[in-house]
Amino acid sequence: MPGFQSLLLEAGLLGLIFLVLSLNVSRHRTSEKVLLGDGGPGHDKLLAAIRAQGNFAEYVPLILLLLAFCLEGGAAPRLVAWSGALLVIARLLHAYGMARPQPNLFRAAGAVLTWLVLLIAALAALALSL
């Protein structure tokens, strides 16, 4: 399923992951009775949930845009499809790792794989612009 269809699938999966991360923040806010902010010291689980959601929101939109632009600009559909699939795996690993004691391999692997996909997408965009 190369090209646009795979990017749609991956974007949909990433949207669902973001929804789960958002619901997790709300769950922690409710259980810890913190309506605004991170609750300060003693609210480590809430802070981890907020950062997992925030980190996702910081990286995923730009990477998806870069991949879509690369596809439109003539990138190999398989490159975009595999990069998107790797991004889904990376974000699942990172989200899982954020809920575990730090440091851990899941969070680190998720971060490194996210950076790798960002690098691939950025370099592909630059190459296609020439």
The pLDDT value given to residue 38: 78
Q: Which two tokens stand for residue 22?
A: 């958002």
- pLDDT confidence of 32, banded at 50, 70, 90? confident
Q: What is the pTM of this model?
A: 0.92
- Taking residues 47-57, what's their average pLDDT? 95
Q: Domain range holding 83?
A: 4-129
Provide the CATH number for the domain around residue 93: 1.20.120.550
Q: Structurally, how many domains does the chain consist of? A: 1
- Taking residues 13-22, what's their average pLDDT? 98
Q: What is the pLDDT of residues 99-114, one digit of tens each?
A: 888 889 999 999 999 9
Percentage, residues of the chain above pLDDT 90: 80
Q: Which two tokens stand for residue 119?
A: 């690098």
The residue among 112, 108, 84, 101 whose CA lies nearest residue 17 is 84
